[in-house]
Amino acid sequence: MNQTETVPGMLWLSIMVGMMIIGLIFHMHYIVRVADHVKKTSDRAFQIKDLMATLQIHHGSNFNTVMLFSWSIFLVAVAFLYFMTPNVLGTLNYFSFPQVASNSLGLLYFGSAVIIIPGILVALFVPQSYKYYQISTQMKQLTLLVPVFLVASIACSVYLGTIYPATNNFYWYLGCGALLISLALMLAPVAKGWVEEMRT
């Protein structure tokens, strides 16, 4: 059933941004606490950059590739969900650019632009943060689900694009829910590491 009611897109976007900010705070607090513990137990002075290099844990190329891919595709999934749904941002949507929207490779161009412009910065810094955490095999296996949820979200967005200018709130919420689950899974290693550090 096609629906045209406005969905609270900015609310859910704010929740996702809030989750990422909390993840950043957890990460920074985690590093500060670890540095404080080292200072208390070491009788030698050290530079923070030397400590950061010492703390790095190699999780394997498979995990690194999955997280790099996941964060890059996460940005694409967010852009698709918000810019391919006319009842979220109004006239500011993918279909406001007919030269791109009418092109058979328009979605590819759009997704590539999202990855290239902000995605490179995210890819360079965010996945590197996992090097400072002990991540269990079970947690690594859970992160393998992230691309699945992201692809599901993108599929919902593509469907919404095919029925434009109509929309369907069920598929929008389904795509948004998949985004929230994938983001929670990507932040889980940081949150788990922070909780364990707070117990010490």
pLDDT digits (tens, 9 = 90+) for 13-39: 889 999 999 999 999 999 888 877 777
**pLDDT at residue 139 in the model:** 92
Looking at the 3D structure of the chain, how many domains does it have? 1
Q: How confident is the model at residue 4 (pLDDT cuts 50, 70, 90)?
A: very low
Q: How confident is the model at residue 152 (pLDDT cuts 50, 70, 90)?
A: very high
Query: In this structure, is residue 1 part of a structural domain?
Result: no
Euclidean distance between the first and the last CA atom of the chain, given in angstroms as a whole number: 53
Query: In this structure, is residue 30 part of a structural domain?
Result: yes
- Cα 195 to Cα 200: distance, rounded to the nearest angstrom: 9
Structure tokens at 88: 């979220």
The pTM of the full predicted model, rounded to 2 decimals, is 0.81
More confident residue, 195 or 93: 195
Query: In this structure, is residue 181 part of a structural domain?
Result: yes
Q: Is the pLDDT of residue 159 over 90?
A: no
Task: Tell me whether the omega of the peptide bond preceding residue 165 falls within 30 degrees of 0, making it cis.
Answer: yes
Q: How confident is the model at residue 60 (pLDDT cuts 50, 70, 90)?
A: confident
Query: In this structure, is residue 3 part of a structural domain?
Result: no
Query: In this structure, is residue 4 part of a structural domain?
Result: no
- Cα 196 to Cα 26: distance, rounded to the nearest angstrom: 11
Query: In this structure, is residue 112 part of a structural domain?
Result: yes
- Cα 168 to Cα 51: distance, rounded to the nearest angstrom: 51
Averaged confidence pLDDT in the chain = 79
> Are the CB atoms for 157 and 81 separated by under 8 Å?
yes
**pLDDT at residue 166 in the model:** 75
Query: In this structure, is residue 90 part of a structural domain?
Result: yes
Q: Is the pLDDT of residue 99 over 70?
A: no
- Cα 179 to Cα 29: distance, rounded to the nearest angstrom: 26
Q: Which residues contact 55 (CB under 8 A, 6 or more apart)?
A: 34, 131, 132
The boundaries of the domain holding residue 71 are 9-198
Q: Annotate 138-174 with b (16+ C-beta within 10 A) or e (fewer).
A: ebbeebeebeebbebbbbbbebbbeeeeebbbebbeb
Query: In this structure, is residue 169 part of a structural domain?
Result: yes
List the single range of 28-37, 95-104, 135-144, 164-173 with lowest mean pLDDT: 95-104
